[in-house]
A and B are shown apart, each in its own frame.
Chain A
Amino acid sequence: MDTCIQAVGLVKRFGGTTALDGVDLEVPTGSILGVLGPNGAGKTTAVRILATLSWPDEGSVRVAGHDALRDPVTVRGLIGLTGQYASVDEELTGRENLELIGQLLRMPSREWRARARELVERFDLVEAGNRPVKTYSGGMRRRIDLAASLVGRPRVLYLDEPTTGLDPRSRGDLWRIVRELADDGTTVLLTTQYLEEADELADRITVIDHGRVVAEGSPQELKRTTGSQTLHVRPVDSADIDRVAGLVTDLLGSRPVLSSDGTTITAPTDDPVLLSSLVRSLDQRAIATDELALRLPSLDDVFFSLTGRPLPDHTTEESPA
């Protein structure tokens, strides 16, 4: 597979602050890269540079073989961009917005009409397409933003936090569309604060923190980098919980963590034979379990172990109250 998006050593300073401090990104053609990081990590700055909206102080960007810094016009002809800042005109209808972009791309009139029609159908905006965008719900708004970035059939799509603030259903709708686009061969770079989103969509993930890449790999690889796995045990009868805790303590040599509702025991472990030993012990004492598993750590755990901080919880930023 060849490389579609390649950024090397991106540095961007705003006054005294360094937003990007030598970021490398690489996205193979037709794949989805998730750029994961908390607010202010530099994700948006990176996307703006890749989309030719901003120039880096240092570094180079190639998109589909073209130098984005030397030949931005060609690159603009290849990319689509969706983010909070690259928006549509709220006063125009959804359809008019799509048609306007088709006209700006100098499509023949028959083609931009057909393309706008096709996109409103695909994005379930047929009725809403004739209303001004300012009347749209949050989910419709993101769909028209995404549709607007697809008018020119881009080979490369940048999605900057495409589902921030969306309800779970709208988020699921958008994920489905992004997956379809990638299946059609579009190269996608998406930034997100949601581990779940990166886990769900991305072939590979780059974790950015304070303007630096702190980890890179497939979701599986990243989960493995934290080393230990986690043991989960939930006895059928919660009265057995103390006995189970005792058994695990004997096997591990340290006390496991009891969940707040008192039904589940979890414990980090590197011991590959722990599970089989535990199964035997439970069997001998005739303790039945609903759940008995070794799990890879979640991406939340990965982020924590990489940065020493948890990812900001997404519910907190939307409702400061």
Chain B
Amino acid sequence: MSAPTLAAPAPALNPEARRRIGVFEGLGHSLTLAKRNLRYVARTPATLIDTVIQPVLFLLVFVFLFGGAISGGWQDYLQTLVPGLMVQITMYASMGTGMALSTDISKGVFDRFRSLPIARSAPLVGAVLGDIIRYVVAVTVLLLLAFALGFRIQTDPLSALLACVLVIVFGLTLCWLSVLVGMVVASPQAVPGVATAVILPLTFGSNIFADPQTMPHWLEVWTGINPVSYFVDTVRGLMIGGPVAEPLAVSLVAVAVCHAVLLPIAVRAYLRKVR
């Protein structure tokens, strides 16, 4: 059955032609996948339990159990603790990104996406975007409970809002660390363990829970190096008053450095999986 080739020429295929996915198309893919992550959260509220329970537990335990011991009265402690906890719980919430990606990879969902004509970055960007909602939920739960217990913003609503935005930016910075852990660790179950090992020294070795001046010298030095302390100072300044400019400058530099260092490493680890 050799048909005459002149009659019906095959559609001309340019061997150099190469379909690429535009930025906006890729963003569309990312948003679709972010929506999937949100739907996933709505479907299985259990995935949010960590995000919701952690702030509640931390707030209750530290305020009522240690508050009096640490600063002489739990009401005073509440004021200084809440801004710090905002930073801490966002760190924990950001660890979900790497876990979610790692789960997708191990379950084969990731390869399904990769077999579709979508932007290579879409599953990553989608996961990160979808996780913003987790930060928002965590911070909202914390603040609602804090207000109920008597926490008051002592600055103005705009500053407080800026503080919340900064906390979310902080979460987005750390989520690259989470992505990196998720890509490097073999199984999703291993992600929380490794992530906690990274987070613990960053959160407890900071000024979130106690005044560093009460700590041994080596720990005080560490809290002074730890960028988390500067973040906490910034958020405190914006919510309950105090110097903002200097800690904010240090914080922004830290965010920039983290992005410059972590982002390329995380994206490279991710692309190695994507290829």
Contact = CB atoms under 8 A, between A and B. Distances in A.
Nearest to A79: B115
Interface stretch (B13-21, B53-61, B134-142): B13-21
A188 B18 CA distance: 24
A106 B19 contact: no
A79 B108 CA distance: 17
A51 B32 contact: no
Contacts of B275: 54-55
A122 to B, nearest CB: 19
Given A92-B40, A101-B116, A104-B32, A71 B18 contact: yes
A54 B104 CA distance: 17
Nearest to B109: A89
Contacts of B20: 73
A115 B39 CA distance: 20
Contacts of B32: 100, 103-104
A76 B108 contact: no
* Most A CB within 10 A of own CB, among B108, B111, B114, B115: B115
A73 B117 contact: yes
B113 A70 contact: no
B28 interface: yes
Contacts of A55: 275
B117 A132 contact: no
Given A65-B13, A67-B15, A91 B43 contact: yes
A77 B117 contact: yes
A96 B33 CA distance: 12
B36 A100 contact: yes
B108 A73 contact: no
Contacts of A119: none
B43 A73 contact: no
Contacts of A90: 107
Interface in B92-128: 104, 107-109, 111-118, 122
A135 interface: no
B19 A52 contact: no
A313 B12 CA distance: 47
B49 interface: no
Contacts of B18: 70-71, 73-74
A32 interface: no
Interface residues of B, number: 34
Nearest to A89: B109
Contact of B109 (A67, A74, A88): A88
A175 B89 CA distance: 51
A88 B111 CA distance: 9
Interface in B1-49: 1, 10-11, 13, 15, 17-21, 25, 28-29, 32-33, 36, 39-40, 43-44
A281 interface: no
Nearest to A73: B19
Interface string A81-108: 1011111111110001000110111100
B18 to A, nearest CB: 5
B188 to A, nearest CB: 13
A249 B20 CA distance: 70
A73 B39 CA distance: 27
Contacts of B122: 104
B45 to A, nearest CB: 12
A1 B20 CA distance: 30
Given A73-B21, A100-B36, A104-B32, A51 B107 contact: no
Contact of B19 (A77, A83, A88, A105): A77
B28 to A, nearest CB: 7
A87 B107 contact: yes
A91 B116 contact: no
B129 to A, nearest CB: 15
A243 B32 CA distance: 75
Nearest to B32: A103
Contacts of A65: 10-11, 13
A101 B40 CA distance: 15
B15 A86 contact: no
Interface string A30-74: 000000000000000000000111110000000001110011011
A66 B16 CA distance: 10
Contact of A105 (B104, B112, B116): B116
Contacts of A76: 115-118
Given A52-B115, A89-B36, A92-B36, A132 B43 contact: yes
A148 B43 contact: no
A146 to B, nearest CB: 12
Interface of B: 1, 10-11, 13, 15, 17-21, 25, 28-29, 32-33, 36, 39-40, 43-44, 104, 107-109, 111-118, 122, 275
Given A67-B15, A80-B115, 20 more contacts: A71-B17, A73-B18, A76-B116, A81-B112, A81-B115, A83-B108, A86-B112, A87-B107, A91-B43, A91-B44, A92-B39, A96-B39, A100-B32, A100-B36, A101-B112, A101-B116, A104-B29, A104-B33, A105-B116, A132-B43
13 contacts: A51-B115, A67-B15, A74-B19, A81-B111, A87-B108, A88-B109, A89-B36, A92-B40, A101-B112, A104-B29, A104-B32, A104-B118, A106-B25
Interface of A: 1-2, 51-55, 65-67, 70-71, 73-74, 76-77, 79-81, 83-92, 96, 100-101, 103-106, 132, 148-149, 152
